[in-house]
Structure 1
Amino acid sequence: MQRAMIVRALIKEWNVPRDQVTDDDVKELREIALEHISGPSALAQRRNLSAQQESEFIQKLRDIYRVERHETSLQMERLGRIGFSLDEQVRYISQALLLIGMNRNFSRFVLLVGHQSETENNPYESALDCGACGGGKGLPNARVFAAMANKPEVRRRLRDKGIIIPDDTWFMPAVHNTTSDVVELHDVDLLPARHLLYLERLQNGLSAATRRSAAERMPLLGGNARLAQDPYAAAAMAQRQTHDWSQVRPEWGLTRNAYAIVGRRELTEGLNLESRAFLHSYDYRLDPKGRLLETILSSPMVVGEWINLEHYFSVVDTEHYGSGSKVYHNVAGRFAVMTGNQSDLRTGLPTQTVLKDGKPYHEPVRLIVLVEAPVAFAQRSVGNLVKIKALLGGGWVRVIIMDPEDDYRAYVLEDGAFHLQERTETPDRQTLLEEIA
């Protein structure tokens, strides 16, 4: 910045052409202005300037163009503050871990997995990427979080907050390609030597998960039903989906989303939720004031509601709220699509995203949010959130509380209050979830 200001001053004050100013000239004038050396400068000598003229110019550099010691110190301090301060890093990591109920029993590896899609010839690719990232990719966030969480000083301060991360725990960023189901680990070169022994086992497990997930998904995307019994062939088909220019449906994405489950993960352990639920880990026992629940309901839940309504409106009226068939789309100006060459710009999702064989594949239901928490506790958190009351009051989101301290009885939010949902028998947690799903 200072060097650019010196060049500007030379052009304005001395009428020196830019091509006659060398890097050495700028560096020498800067050192004189900062009082590291004394003049005359080589440039002043070449231009036959007097000591008085150069002195006046140096003073202008200090007074007008801010090339002086104090300003340099301030600039260096600002540069040193690029990024998060240590206090900010500790706050972000602690809040994120507590938000998902993770303050103990850390594994050797903690994977921070962002997600993205990979398709060709697909103007709707960003619709398959991260909604919370504005249609971007989640890997940069995962890498930043891992870098902060692996810092010894951050961990020391977390220990003071009751979050004890073992020395052999390593946070590793990764990205899940939702089209091929491949999970790719990143920053492996930073992995401590003692973890390399376990890396191959981790990678083998992720590869197996890729194949099993593909075996579930590919028959739903037009693949042969036999692929469900052949994970290797299913994974190969999923990989082809990422490069097929003629593929109008590379993946279903978040189609058929219907509900979000906020609670401990043992609540849904062993259930087949059929890829219809947003899952947010949460443990109300770590949130005595309810602030973390408020954050979940005002941020992740709202993002889920955006995604849900995007699919909802695109399927109830595919021509007006959706964008019609991809087959007839032309990209307009690299920022939108139009049907053929005479239509308006299209909004919403295409029919290939929400319909199958001409019939709705996405069920147009408004988002149901199930929260595992005592009903009085949850009611207090909901009451504190003014900005989501319109969503709740308008019926765009339906909140159901599953009270773990009251035999998991369900309380439904209606008309601003929670009402007990009566049932003739008392099912266990999993049966209740299956009924709602």
Structure 2
Amino acid sequence: MGMNKVITNQNQYTDDINHIISEASRVIVPLSPISVFAARNPWANLEQYTFENIAQWLKKVRDVDIYPTFNTFKQAYERNEIDDREIELKLQQWLKQINPSIAKNHVETYARKSLDLAHLTVLNRVSESQDIANHRTNALNKTDDMNTTSLVSTYITDKNDKKLIDIVDYHVIKWCKLYLDDAQSGWTMPNRDQGLFVAWRRLVQHDPALSKKQRTRLKTLPDNAEDLLEVCLEALGVSEGQIQSYLENHLLALPGWAGMMLWQDEYHHTEYQLLLAYLAIRVGLEWAIVQSYLPATEPNYEFEYSVDEFRENWIHTDLFTTEQWDQLSVSQQKVYIDFAIHFETQICKKLLLEAWEATYEKQLKTAVESEQNVEHKQHTTQVQMAFCIDVRSEPFRRQIEAAGPFETIGIAGFFGLPIVKEALGSEHSHPSLPVMNQPQHKIKEYTHEKEPTTFRQHQHILKSITYTFKKMKQNALPSLLLPELSGPWLTLQMFSRSFTPRPVGKLIRKFYAGWLQKPNDTTLSLQHCNHTEEGMPVGFTEKEKVAYVHQALRLMGLTSHFAPLVVLCGHGSQSANNPYASSLDCGACGGAASGFNAKVLAQLCNLPEVRASLLTEGIVIPEDTVFVAAEHQTSIDELDWIYTPNLSETAQNAFNQIQAAMPDISYRANEQRLKALPDNHLFKKDPLKEVHRLTNDWSEIRPEWGLARNASFIIGQRDLTKHSDLKGRSFLHNYDWKQDSDGSILANIISGPATVAQWINLQYYASTVAPHYYGSGSKTTQTITAGIGVMQGNASDLLTGLPWQSVMSADNEMYHSPIRLLIVVQAPDDFIRQILNDNHDFYQKVLNRWVKLASIDAFGQWHDWPLN
């Protein structure tokens, strides 16, 4: 990375610095507040490089290893997730590509010993040696087109032997918390309305945490962020060609806080450039703190290793006796040692990860192919149920299909509707679509009553009580009285929620259902009447209604043979006292449960004028077919019916059938799902009671597994996977290539849902392999900060990913398998070639190993792409 741009004058510098910052920001991704958690690929902007190159680069610049540990590989091997034959195959493929400086048979023997997971402790694992990690030479991790420039503060220590970069980070965290605070503190940051840089510039001169000399230095700096950057970078000795890589290192120092600034810039589009301000503050503080140590020269780290350690490794291969090794010259020994270091630090884990992924692909292929020639009983479908592609839907769908004449369909859970939703009684609207897309319509829920409804009155009362309680906590005198007033009630709540969570949770739900019961006659603003809000139209035009329904039906492959009842199922989750609650809703839509979208589409599908227009598209929806909407509660595997219009006689019969079957479906789905949770939750208990206890227990760290263990995304007809147990590891999207003559449907799936699935997959991957950098560590030591996210303790980075408990069964026992997503498309080779030719970004993902791609052609043959 890094830009070699010559800056000739002040105006040119001002013009170019924003471009340089934009380029530097590729090393991070936007981080949304935890209340609207959205899964993100941490390396989304780096996919022009190979996965291997990014792994080497991150190890060099941040000492972050994005490959699984050897212990993780060992566990996978013991769970039969890594096949010895695949390891050997990957080794032989690698050997064909290299031209080693030592005998090839020696290379092969050493590599085979290193890859032997059955005897993991045989060789010293040099790639996980802390000494070697801390003294790695550039030569070992050289990536030609990715430059790095070390921060001056990283190689200077104070008199207490503390790195100055840690002091810089401490101050930056403090200012970020103050500025980004979302009404959690009683007093807001002075001058906050004028932007981060102005507020910091005025307050930092009075910061008692800085020395008098440091404050004096900061007073001399320019009052403009661009000018301050120029002055400080020059004072720190950063050359023009090093500016981008230097700023990249500053962004990577605290990727969470930097990512939040980037999200604020992109989401709010404020006139204040927060990422520019953030970098100006970091660089300004760095200069003020290190100035007395300047000029400083970066140490020339020597690569240190133990000769005896590598001597042992080579002797253990039986290629040398002790005497034979000692007879080698020093230069010969160095060649062997250099190879061992190179293999352990760059190659070994790469081959093991590829073998792990190949083993999963082989197992998936076997599971899918084993059912293709088996005849299954056919029946007349009474209910068609469209579920989100979410991996949690797959086991639930299998139970539904086994329970009766029910068919399930997979589609992205926002149903192709690019909307912002505003539910009845809500003070805020919320985008209800994947974060990579922009909303184009706003849909509001309202009543026809002009006077305030009982629902609104009750809602206002609860909000007033909550607001008063918060204000009393934040004010000096009322806070003294508050414990006396609230103590008994809060104590009662604590004991009841701790020891009887299920009945108390049920009581609370009943209270809210009764007290905040929405009117039954709520209406959605589906009809556009030349009214706009938030810069977008409210509702749809007649043409847009037909277009969105047509698109959704084509994406589902549901253009004929309609059942009497079609159920559009959104999904959400419920849990208590869980900062990550939104991450268990839709992983792509910023924590938006997608039942609202299902209700919008169901109502559109029932409109007579829409059905009449669809006739011209060749889609005939029978008059007695009715669309309804439901929401799949993934933590308890139940359906909440949220929109049931008047049903035809055949639709009513179908509805009665699915209603009658649902209790048994939920029982069996929960019974299966609970087996995957640690401790098996004492299976003597009723699984339905147990899942309700989990979702209402405010001490529960793992109410459900979410999307952990996701590994594949299958695009094809349901018959391809219907009778295969995919173990809740696959995103499933319906697709029939015979109805996609121009390939446009597949193109939409690849550019939308497949990309979303990849982001989710790599979010879980990163949170597993680098939990304290890309994850969020343990829930038990987290602190919710500024109302926007979590930290470890009170002065850490803003944590970007999933907690340890979402990916691990225990401290040293993995649950999620950190492998890259396998996309399988059921389509002829020509369709795949067209996608790779037309979609350069997707081709780049496949070529650079960010995803794997396979296809099943018209004859049932499996192909890996790119084809050899």
TM over 0.5: yes
Match of 1:302 in 2: 755
Q: Write the letter of the residue equivalent to 2:839.
A: L
Please state how far the C-alpha of 1:82 moved relative to its aligned partner: 3.3
Matched, 1:369 2:820: no
Out of 722, 727, 749, the residue aligned to residue 269 of structure 1 is: 722
Alignment identity in percent?
Answer: 38
Worse overlay, 124-133 or 384-393 = 384-393
Aligned pairs (5 A) from 1:372-391: 372-391=826-845
Q: 1:240 aligns with which of 693, 704, 723?
A: 693
Q: What are the within-5 Å matches in structure 2 for residues 142-291 of structure 1?
A: 142-188=598-644, 190-192=645-647, 194=649, 195-222=651-678, 224=680, 227=683, 233-291=686-744
Higher mean alpha-carbon deviation, 194-203 vs 179-188, is at 194-203
The answer for the alignment partner of 1:95 in structure 2 is: 551
AA matched with 1:374: P
- The CA deviation at 1:118 is 0.4
**Partner residue, 1:127:** 583
Q: Is the 8 A contact 2:565 2:654 kept in 1?
A: no
SS in 1 for 2:787: coil
Aligned-pair distance for 1:386?
2.5
The SS at the match of 1:371 is strand
Q: Please report how far the alpha carbon of residue 343 of structure 1 lies from its aligned counterpart in structure 2 after TM superposition.
A: 2.4
SS in 2 for 1:133: coil
* CA distance 1:411–1:196, change in 2 (3 Å): closer
Q: Is the 8 A contact 2:855 2:863 kept in 1?
A: yes
SS at match of 1:235: helix
CA shift in 2, pair 1:192/1:100, >3 Å: closer
Greater length-normalized contact order (CA 8 Å, ≥ 6 residues apart): 2
Hey, what's the Cα distance between the residues in 2 that align with 1:79 and 1:312?
44
Asked if 1 retains the 8 angstrom alpha-carbon contact of 2:779 and 2:805, the reply is yes
CA deviations 1:154-175 (Å, max 9, x no partner) are 1111122111111111111110
C-alpha displacement at 1:279, in angstroms? 0.1
In structure 2, list runs of 5 or more residues that go unmatched. Answer: 1-527
1:400 to 843, 849, 854: 854
Q: 1:158-209 CA deviation, whole Å, 9 max, x = no partner?
A: 1221111111111111101111111111122x22363444433221222222
Distance 1:294 1:198, change over 3 A: closer
SS in 1 for 2:755: helix
Contact 1:291 1:381 in 2 (8 A): no
Deviates more, 1:243-252 or 1:331-340: 331-340
Instruction: Report the Cα offset of residue 235 of structure 1.
Output: 1.4
2:725 is matched by which residue type in structure 1? N
Cα-to-partner distance string for 1:302-321 (whole Å, 9 max, x where unaligned)? 00000000000111111222
8 Å contact kept, 1:322–1:347: yes
Matching residue within 78, 83, 100 for 2:530: 78
Question: Displacement of 1:225 after TM fit?
Answer: 7.5
- Which position in structure 2 is the counterpart of 1:322? 775
Aligned twin of 1:346: 799
Give the distance between the partners of 1:200 and 1:77, measured in 2 at CA.
38
1:326-349 deviations in whole A, cap 9, x for unaligned?
A: 011111111111112232222211
* Structure with higher strand content: 1
TM-score normalised over the length of structure 2: 0.38
Distance 2:646 2:836 in 1: 42
Distance 2:720 2:832 in 1: 17
Report the 3-state secondary structure (helix = DSSP H, G, I; strand = E; otherwise coil) of the residue aligned with 2:576.
Answer: coil
1:180–1:241 CA contact under 8 A, matched in 2: no
Aligned to 1:105: 561
> Where in structure 2 are the equivalents of 1:29-68 lying within 5 Å?
none
Task: Look up the match of 2:291.
Answer: none
Alignment partners' CA distance in 2, 1:369 and 1:234: 33
Please report how far the alpha carbon of residue 116 of structure 1 lies from its aligned counterpart in structure 2 after TM superposition. Answer: 0.7
Deviations 1:397-425 (A, max 9, x none): 11101102xx32122113xxx34xxxxxx
Q: How much has 1:99 moved relative to structure 2? A: 1.4
Contact 1:321 1:348 in 2 (8 A): yes
Q: Distance in 1 between matches of 2:777 and 2:571?
A: 27
Q: AA paired with 1:289? A: D
Give 3-state SS (helix, strand or coil) of 1:220's partner.
coil
Q: Which amino acid in the other structure matches residue 317 of structure 1?
A: A
Q: Structure 1 residues 272, 225: CA separation in 2 closer, same or farther (over 3 Å shift)?
A: farther
One-letter amino acid of the structure 1 residue matched with residue 840 of structure 2: V
TM-score, structure 1 length as denominator?
A: 0.73
Within the alignment, does 1:410 sit opposite 2:862 as a pair?
yes
- Rounded Cα–Cα distance in structure 2 between residues aligned with 1:382 and 1:167: 41
Q: How many residues align?
A: 335
What secondary structure, in the 3-state scheme, does the structure 1 residue paired with 2:629 have? Answer: strand
Gaps of 5+ in 1: 1-75, 420-437
User: For 2:630, what is the secondary structure of its paired residue?
Assistant: strand
Distance 1:223 1:206, change over 3 A: farther
Secondary structure at the residue paired with 1:257?
coil
Q: For 1:110 and 1:196, how far apart are their aligned partners in 2? A: 11
